[in-house]
Structure 1
């Protein structure tokens, strides 16, 4: 009995010991605290809190701090230590408490800056660099840009061959019409009608891909090329955002707020913007009739005052690790007011002023705009390079505009008159795209897909003249213009890319169905054509510092709505711009050979290119009764051969120099209305940028631009030289930015054209003037300070 009792007691003791041990193993410990900067005691968001095993030193669990620097995490480990870290700061380590406790409160944890680590970080990713891929030039965004609070527009201005003007219009090699993509796809924030790109920060951009000679994968439309902005794939969980306030002269005031909330399944993003803007434009025109020796002079200032509202809302839904669905929308409203004034003088053959009059304009317009984007992406077997992407992009734009024009005689012959115009404009564009990419190995890959673009436009335009005290519709200037264009595209490309050599070839088939109708007069222009667009690219890497790339592609420029629409603005009824419903598309064969050299702290790009274009669209002046009417026409061929040189050099950590140079020769051949337009010419342009990092965390940037004089089909376009200036100051450890920018510092960006023919001469001069802007931007959470400058005007 005693033996059994002893055995039972032993058994009970062992069971209790086992249970106690099991309970001890399952004991949950809660660790909490708050991380701040030493000295300022500012909270550090997104600092890493790691619990690691004392013996193996391997992580067990971890978390990141919230916006206020606080954190809470749990662990069931029994032999561990705690490490707090954040980039640029010295790590802090805490051992496991000797006494058993359910809660470990570390209190306020102050991290001090690690000067050595900061120096290493800056050096490691300091310089943005350019490298070659098979069919593109890749500009990798380095620390010199991503840490400055700059926007996507600032980044693009640092990319060789790319320029961004004062209105956010982007050009490539000096040519506008470049297509902007986000992660390889059309996007609401990359639409050409707005500069919502200003809401993407440099910190978000991984690289910019410049495709001057696109492969068959891309839309064959356009000859200027493609710029693809690739966003980083890192996940910023929690609430991030930024706010920007800007003011300037002439009046340009705006405020923008951007918010981003990222979780495990959803990423919600939004942007709200409001602004006021005044866009003056000084004009001067001289129309000379050499047959009758009469001249019409006009000078004035055109204003475009705008109030605009912009709202963006979207979400990414991560269905699983390999699938993501994106839905976003953008609504904008622009209210216009155009109080323009033009002074006219009529001069006879004896150089005597026979009449002077004033033409005033009062225009009001409402321009609503709606865009949406739906995209689904699936990665196969966890391989992001093997994927299927479906995307659809819809765009609606409307314009309800009314204008009053009054001519008031000042002296001489009477020119009193009143006119009214009315515009009811509606446009919708829908783009559906399906892309499939399949890598068969590390070297071989295949791309295939389809795209369907539908464009439907209606423009109801009416002109009325005051006759006998009442307004009478002018039937010759009044009509409804209908424009309907559908383009279906199919493509396939195959590529081989080895360590040194690669080749990529493909073909694209596009079928275009275009219909235009002048409803009142029942005039139609129907076009239906199918074209093949082949492409071929190859590259060779001699060393890590020297690469060579060659490519060929066939491109098309389809006449846009305003190339075809015959109606015009009668602001200056002696200088009129019309469209041509009968225009045909122009086709271009493009060849390029480009090289890249990395020489120490300098990168150099040198290339030669040749483009042959048929049915070239040129604007031709038709002169009658001192009225100059400019109208686009298809005039023959253009053969262009050019060279391009880009360089970037950082002689010191505080200085970066960029230079672009482009020179081309062209040969024009064509006939229009029995007039032969055969001539040769050349043109060149250059851009030099200097960026200096000054004491007290200031940055100074200067950009000089020059465009040479060039011969046109009827005259010349004069040269101009201008300079932009920028000054940036980072405050609050880079979370906030003060920015001062001056565009066209010396008001020297003057666009002058001269037309000299046997029976008439025309001179035109336009000056936008100097723009000065000052802005403050602040980023919170892990957001960066952004730039917001509102919607760019479309008309």
Structure 2
């Protein structure tokens, strides 16, 4: 399959070269907001036949407001339109094969401003050369939800109830905030939980990143872009949410734009509860005994999130941005688990294990950014940023056992965790267009990561708390990554190509303080990338890409100490883990057929030194221990389709389907050969209905098939979300009612069946009800979702 994809890639390149020489007229320009003087992104630019007025070709403007189009005819019209603004229709004078429209100014249309609010209520997906952009609207099922829940609505992305994020079914996706790594984007400790849906502007999914991006993330990159506005004057929106179980929050978004300054800020405060139902089974096939556990628990969170920032426009070519974010969480967790021990199916002992956990999680982030534009070319710029962030966790837990059957002695334990993570990122990017077709980019990035995890366990013996040195340690983790890249791109009327190379040096050190065990790794790697695109026609285009990626083990993969929540089913890290490397190939096509648009993709990923959890069963203690290990390779080939179909004016359906098959090869040790093949697939679909009296209804279904891992089978899972919206006060006031997991079917279940042991694990959360009210002032939601200038 790898050879086949390489041949398809070569054929596409040959075809592209053969057609790129076709002559046509190139039309370029830039669109700006006349009031704010800022570029407008996503503006529709269409070329029309001057006589028939039929569309010839079209595009949307980029982040900097620019557009590039190619057309065979010389007698044509240029139509510029953007919701909330007055449209333009111009007929340029064509003297040669290059038409520069210059700067095109759009004026706001007061009669259309209310329509901008309507536009902001729906999430939409855009397909670009190297990524898909999910613009986050006011989805009915996302009101009051965290970033974790919003990600579940994004095509190609799935999130388990434990918060594990997969991209096209693969783990190892790199999560970024505003294009940069951040501890706020960490998948550990529910760091993404402090970001709520109302704060998110869009989510970019990059399945095959170019060399410009950090090489981390074998599955690709998920970039969460937070809202920021530059609308003139004072604007804002306020949102209130309430729900059951216990889901209450208030959010405020505000900005003030003057001639030189743009001040922006967001505030989020809330509290929520996540119930859990858990059950496990460990069976010793040799001794014919087993241990079962089952119970319920609740995780209560209070969160506070404040973001502030300002842009200072020194002049029209130089901008300095200073921004910061402070978040604070208070967690309380309680659970009761019943454990039963059987021998030859006869109950031997039973006890209840109660847990009470308290934690505080401070987080903060600050950034200084400078951007310089140049007179020579509108797309030439220099961008520097310095970013610092911190994430802490001060947690204590108490576990008490009460024996209800048998002769076991009751006992109590408690744990203490003091976790600190600091990350500093310095980034420099320079873009230099040689002309309107050729562009080179270069830059560098230095990321420093410093983590300390102080974990202690003690037992209540004779009325005194006695420390357990075998389960107590301080684990320190230091990782510095220095990277540099260069890319070169050609973009013609119908064909384009972009190639690049990135080099990264990784310096990793871990230390177990109590035992003075130290592990160091240092390695330098090259990460090439190639992307190309070919426009077959106005409704059909092809794209292809290749990139090499890396997945570096994270703290919890390396830390050998564990949580004692379930003493018979534990997870430990492995400080000897090596990074994974993945070669990723992709061929995609984009079709527009009437009111429908479909994106098809064929992809192949080949990964070496695969990291996968391996279970070890102790037949004496009946304890199952899971630990990540490096072994073997994994070849994944998949097909994916994303679609959107406006069936009628009142019914729209969109969704995605992903199917892949994999060939796993791995010899863990002399007794464990993990060679096997398998398939997995998942799909999600959303139907949006416009009802009378300005009511809207939405239903989203999500299904993931069962699939194999090295030792286990993960069971299938499906759930449904629904929502209802009512607009009031001409759309300025919006009321949402949502139900997530309507049938309470969302779960995480796995089975491990080995020669000497059998185990099961099940976890579920149940349904959530939410009621949300949002109100925009100034230009309100138009401020948040329309003309935006991103840096």
Is the TM-score greater than 0.5?
Answer: yes
Q: Which residue of 2 is the match for residue 523 of structure 1?
A: 517
The partner residue of 1:781 within 771, 778, 782 is: 778
Q: CA–CA distance in 1 between the matches of 2:139 and 2:402?
A: 54
Residue 161 of structure 1 and its aligned partner are, at CA, apart by 2.8
The partner residue of 1:723 within 717, 720, 724 is: 720
CA contact under 8 A between 1:314 and 1:328: conserved in structure 2?
yes
Counterparts of 1:53-64 in structure 2, within 5 Å, are: none
CA contact under 8 A between 1:128 and 1:144: conserved in structure 2?
no
Q: Secondary structure at the match of 1:327?
A: strand
CA contact under 8 A between 1:778 and 1:786: conserved in structure 2?
no
The partner residue of 1:324 within 306, 319, 324 is: 319
Q: Which residue of 2 is the match for residue 631 of structure 1?
A: 627
Residues 126-157 of structure 1 deviation map (CA, whole Å, 9 limit, x = unaligned): 99564442x3345689x9989x9999979977
TM norm structure 2? 0.80
| RMSD, matched Cα | 3.3
Q: Which residue of 1 is the match for residue 787 of structure 2?
A: none
Q: Structure 1 pair 469/140, CA: closer, same or farther in 2 (3 Å)? A: closer
Q: Structure 1 pair 170/586, CA: closer, same or farther in 2 (3 Å)? A: closer
Unaligned 5+ segments in structure 2 are 1-32, 36-82, 87-108, 785-791
Q: CA–CA distance in 2 between the matches of 1:118 and 1:782?
A: 9
Q: Which residue of 1 is the match for residue 654 of structure 2?
A: 658
Q: Which residue of 2 is the match for residue 554 of structure 1?
A: 548
Residue 279 of structure 1 and its aligned partner are, at CA, apart by 1.1
Q: CA–CA distance in 2 between the matches of 1:595 and 1:138?
A: 16
Q: Which residue of 2 is the match for residue 268 of structure 1?
A: 263
Q: CA–CA distance in 1 between the matches of 2:565 and 2:117?
A: 57
Residues 572-624 of structure 1 deviation map (CA, whole Å, 9 limit, x = unaligned): 11111111111110000001111111101111111111111011110111111
Work out whether 1:640 is the aligned partner of 2:636. yes
The partner residue of 2:208 within 188, 213, 234 is: 213
Q: Secondary structure at the match of 2:634?
A: strand
Q: Which residue of 2 is the match for residue 407 of structure 1?
A: 401
Q: Structure 1 pair 393/167, CA: closer, same or farther in 2 (3 Å)? A: farther
Q: Which residue of 2 is the match for residue 669 of structure 1?
A: 665
TM norm structure 1? 0.79
Q: Secondary structure at the match of 2:291?
A: strand
The partner residue of 2:595 within 579, 593, 601 is: 601
Residue 384 of structure 1 and its aligned partner are, at CA, apart by 4.6
Residue 708 of structure 1 and its aligned partner are, at CA, apart by 0.7
Q: Structure 1 pair 168/657, CA: closer, same or farther in 2 (3 Å)? A: farther
Residues 300-343 of structure 1 deviation map (CA, whole Å, 9 limit, x = unaligned): 11321112222212111111111111111111111111111110
Q: Secondary structure at the match of 1:247?
A: strand
Q: Which residue of 1 is the match for residue 527 of structure 2?
A: 533
Q: Which residue of 2 is the match for residue 54 of structure 1?
A: none
Q: CA–CA distance in 2 between the matches of 1:232 and 1:424?
A: 32
The partner residue of 2:282 within 284, 287, 301 is: 287
Q: Secondary structure at the match of 1:696?
A: coil
Q: CA–CA distance in 1 between the matches of 2:292 and 2:466?
A: 28
Residue 515 of structure 1 and its aligned partner are, at CA, apart by 0.2
Q: Which residue of 2 is the match for residue 588 of structure 1?
A: 582
The aligned length equals 676
Q: Which residue of 2 is the match for residue 564 of structure 1?
A: 558
CA contact under 8 A between 1:88 and 1:118: conserved in structure 2?
no
Q: Which residue of 1 is the match for residue 390 of structure 2?
A: 396
The partner residue of 2:381 within 364, 387, 409 is: 387
Q: CA–CA distance in 2 between the matches of 1:701 and 1:738?
A: 14
Q: Structure 1 pair 177/698, CA: closer, same or farther in 2 (3 Å)? A: farther
Q: CA–CA distance in 2 between the matches of 1:150 and 1:713?
A: 38
Q: Structure 1 pair 714/401, CA: closer, same or farther in 2 (3 Å)? A: same
Q: Which residue of 2 is the match for residue 682 of structure 1?
A: 679
Q: Structure 1 pair 748/234, CA: closer, same or farther in 2 (3 Å)? A: closer
Unaligned 5+ segments in structure 1 are 1-45, 49-85, 90-111, 788-795
Residue 780 of structure 1 and its aligned partner are, at CA, apart by 1.0
CA contact under 8 A between 1:278 and 1:303: conserved in structure 2?
yes
Q: CA–CA distance in 1 between the matches of 2:123 and 2:631?
A: 46
Q: CA–CA distance in 2 between the matches of 1:550 and 1:361?
A: 52
Counterparts of 1:61-460 in structure 2, within 5 Å, are: 128=124, 130-133=126-129, 135-137=130-132, 160-162=155-157, 172-175=167-170, 178-181=173-176, 184-185=179-180, 193-194=191-192, 198=196, 209-228=204-223, 235-349=230-344, 351-381=345-375, 383-460=377-454
Q: CA–CA distance in 2 between the matches of 1:168 and 1:268?
A: 33
Q: Which residue of 1 is the match for residue 756 of structure 2?
A: 759
Q: Which has the larger radius of gyration?
A: 1
Q: Secondary structure at the match of 2:781?
A: coil
Q: CA–CA distance in 1 between the matches of 2:133 and 2:389?
A: 29
Q: Secondary structure at the match of 2:274?
A: strand
Q: CA–CA distance in 2 between the matches of 1:348 and 1:151?
A: 45
Residue 684 of structure 1 and its aligned partner are, at CA, apart by 0.8
Residue 176 of structure 1 and its aligned partner are, at CA, apart by 5.7
Q: CA–CA distance in 2 between the matches of 1:232 and 1:367?
A: 24
Q: CA–CA distance in 2 between the matches of 1:750 and 1:196?
A: 23
Q: CA–CA distance in 2 between the matches of 1:188 and 1:623?
A: 34
Q: CA–CA distance in 2 between the matches of 1:679 and 1:568?
A: 30
Q: Which residue of 2 is the match for residue 746 of structure 1?
A: 743
Q: Structure 1 pair 772/168, CA: closer, same or farther in 2 (3 Å)? A: farther
Residue 458 of structure 1 and its aligned partner are, at CA, apart by 0.8
Residues 516-551 of structure 1 deviation map (CA, whole Å, 9 limit, x = unaligned): 000110111100000000111111110011111111
Residues 376-433 of structure 1 deviation map (CA, whole Å, 9 limit, x = unaligned): 1111118452111111221111111111111110111224111111111111011111
CA contact under 8 A between 2:456 and 2:472: conserved in structure 1?
yes
Q: Structure 1 pair 348/162, CA: closer, same or farther in 2 (3 Å)? A: closer
